Amino acid sequence: MSKLQKQMQEELVEKNVFDQARTYSYEYINGIEKMDVFPSEDNLERLTNFDEPLQNKPYSAEKIIEKLHFFGSPATIAQTGGRYFGFVNGGAIPVSLGAKWLSDVWDQCGGLYLTSPINAKLESVCEDWLKDIFNLPKNTVAGFVSGTSMANLCGLAAARFHLLNNLGWDVNENGMNGAPKLRIIAHDQVHASIKKTLAMLGYGKNSIERMPSDDQGRLIVDELPELDNSSLILLQAGNANTGSFDYFDKVCDLANEVGAWVHIDGAFGLWAAASQPLSHLTKGIEKASSWAVDGHKTLNTPYDSGAILCRYPDALISALQATGEYIIYSEQRDPLLFTPELSKRSRAIELWATMKYLGKEGMNEMITGFHLRAKQLEEALKELNFQILNEVVFNQVLVTCENDEETKQVIQYMQRSGECWLGGTTWKGKAAIRVSVCSWRTTEQDIKQTIDLFKKSRAYKTLT
Ligand SMILES: *Cc1c(COP(=O)(O)O)cnc(C)c1O
């Protein structure tokens, strides 16, 4: 045994490195409500401690974990606390972290049943549960990927395979050169990840037929052109700014009449289906062909958790397998059939743990809670004469002030306060403050504190 091997063996036996990581983790978790939501300048400055050339000799495991905690933890975003409202990021439910820790120790290669039976089993269970929650057709299959960007890529690859195949073209054999034209129909509010993935699949921006959207960012159904079996329609469950939902029912009916494909990007919004008062927002989603959704946003799993759901198993599997010939349905589930990766983290484990923990009632309570907190903020801000630009149908609130300059100043004040964090955006040409309530930890008190900050931000304006 080499000296290095021996040292690593000892690390496992003594467990110091794990105990230390655990202690620091608890310290972090317990301090999160007191730390700056965005790191201070000083703590960011200290990140230069990582600027060093790689040394020659192996280094102390304990010192590595120590360094990570001392300089790394203070430079994190307090995203798992209750007052982070940036982007649509989501927190992390304790059991999901616990399940991830354990599964990290297992270090399973999630690609095959043979390389991880437990992962294959939990993927099957998650597939069934997701279909149940979203009320999707029986034959729908799920692939577990890193997030919605990847899920969109898989869904659109399946759509491309399926539509071209129906037009007599095997894209796996013949590629894109000379392929029949597909009509890609999206509204102007399509998410950046869709544009990115379309380009990766050979459909540049100019190949998209752009439809107008209404004041909430929904596709205007009457503007939809005549569809046919070469059409791919891109819809959204949860606009990343307004939180609005497209009219799935109507568009899917039109599409299904002619054999077009509807893909729904439901990164955070698809979960509205799990909330009793909000499930009307997802009416008709079950008539689409593919759905992309995140675990790490609304469901509050840790990062690296997304799923592609597809009603045509052959299309998804063929698109991700490069040839149709070796589609072998093994008796047991082989996860790599449904994802681009071969080796992959067994990420369905924490997704399973999170759904199992919450149950349907817990999901209903948590997701409805995001909406109630968003409404609380909306109502208070209206009273303070801030303008709300969106219909708060889900968890997003878009706020503006008198003019763009004032709006930007409020954002700056909030971001520098360290007490909360929210981002800026532009909505239909206007600067706006974008608030996303997306963490299980956000309480009414957190919202009250945020409202107070909005009040104070006005005074800040007069000072600068
Ligand atoms: C976040 C988001 C995405 C991208 O998902 P990732 O998990 O970040 O890859 C796509 N679409 C919408 C609507 C989103 O909110």
CA angle 381, 387, 391 (to 5 degrees): 90
305 vs 332, higher pLDDT: 305
Report the pLDDT value the prediction gives residue 137, as an integer from 0 to 100: 98
| 207 lies in some domain | yes
**If you measure from the C-alpha of residue 148 to the centroid of ligand 1, how many angstroms do you get, rounded to a whole number?**
5
Report whether pLDDT(330) > 80: no
Domain boundary among 355, 372, 396: 355
**If you measure from the C-alpha of residue 292 to the centroid of ligand 1, how many angstroms do you get, rounded to a whole number?**
9
The preferred substitution site among 246, 294, 297 for testing ligand 1, maximizing ligand atoms within 8 Å of CB, is: 294
| 281 lies in some domain | yes
Counted residue by residue, the chain has a size of 464
Report whether pLDDT(147) > 70: yes
**If you measure from the C-alpha of residue 21 to the centroid of ligand 1, how many angstroms do you get, rounded to a whole number?**
30
**Residues 220 and 350 grouped into a single domain:** yes
Report the pLDDT value the prediction gives residue 458, as an integer from 0 to 100: 82
Domain boundary among 327, 355, 383: 355
Report the pLDDT value the prediction gives residue 322, as an integer from 0 to 100: 59
Q: For residue 276, name the pLDDT band (cuts at 50, 70, 90).
A: very high
| 83 lies in some domain | no
pLDDT per residue over 152-177, tens digit each? Answer: 999 999 999 999 999 999 999 999 99
The preferred substitution site among 146, 154, 193, 196 for testing ligand 1, maximizing ligand atoms within 8 Å of CB, is: 193
| 394 lies in some domain | no
Q: Answer for the pair 145, 342: CB distance below 8 angstroms, yes or no.
A: no
Report the pLDDT value the prediction gives residue 106, as an integer from 0 to 100: 97
pLDDT per residue over 383-437, tens digit each? Answer: 999 999 999 999 999 999 999 999 999 999 999 999 999 999 999 999 999 999 9
Mean pLDDT of the chain: 95
**Residues 252 and 298 grouped into a single domain:** yes
**Residues 57 and 158 grouped into a single domain:** no
Give CA separation, 341 vs 106, 136, 268, 294, 337, in Å: 19, 25, 23, 17, 9
Stretch 132-150: mean pLDDT: 98
**Residues 246 and 112 grouped into a single domain:** yes
Ligand 1 atom closest to 147 (CA)? 7
**Residues 74 and 162 grouped into a single domain:** no
Report the pLDDT value the prediction gives residue 331, as an integer from 0 to 100: 83
Q: Answer for the pair 449, 37: CB distance below 8 angstroms, yes or no.
A: no
Stretch 123-144: mean pLDDT: 98
**Residues 219 and 261 grouped into a single domain:** yes
CATH code for the domain in which residue 290 is found:
3.40.640.10
Report whether pLDDT(326) > 80: no
Q: For residue 459, name the pLDDT band (cuts at 50, 70, 90).
A: confident
Report whether pLDDT(295) > 70: yes
Ligand 1 atom closest to 191 (CA)? 11
**Residues 169 and 233 grouped into a single domain:** yes
Domain boundary among 298, 326, 355: 355
| 409 lies in some domain | no
Please give the tally of structural domains in the chain. Answer: 2
Rounded Cα gap, residues 435 and 421, in angstroms = 9
**If you measure from the C-alpha of residue 456 to the centroid of ligand 1, how many angstroms do you get, rounded to a whole number?**
32
Q: For residue 460, name the pLDDT band (cuts at 50, 70, 90).
A: confident
Q: Rounded to 5 degrees, what are φ and ψ at 293?
A: -150, 150
Ligand 1 pocket by Cβ (under 6 Å): 88, 147-149, 191, 193, 236, 238, 240, 265, 267-268, 294, 306
Ligand 1 atom closest to 239 (CA)? 13
67 vs 462, higher pLDDT: 67
**If you measure from the C-alpha of residue 308 to the centroid of ligand 1, how many angstroms do you get, rounded to a whole number?**
12
Q: Where are the beta strands (DSSP E) in 188-253?
A: 208-211, 231-236
Contacts of 86 (CB under 8 A, 6+ apart): 77, 79, 421, 422, 423, 436
Report the pLDDT value the prediction gives residue 462, as an integer from 0 to 100: 52
Residue 105's domain comprises: 99-355
**Residues 73 and 221 grouped into a single domain:** no
Stretch 234-242: mean pLDDT: 98
Identify which of 117, 143, 133 has the alpha carbon closest to the alpha carbon of residue 237: 133
**Residues 163 and 38 grouped into a single domain:** no
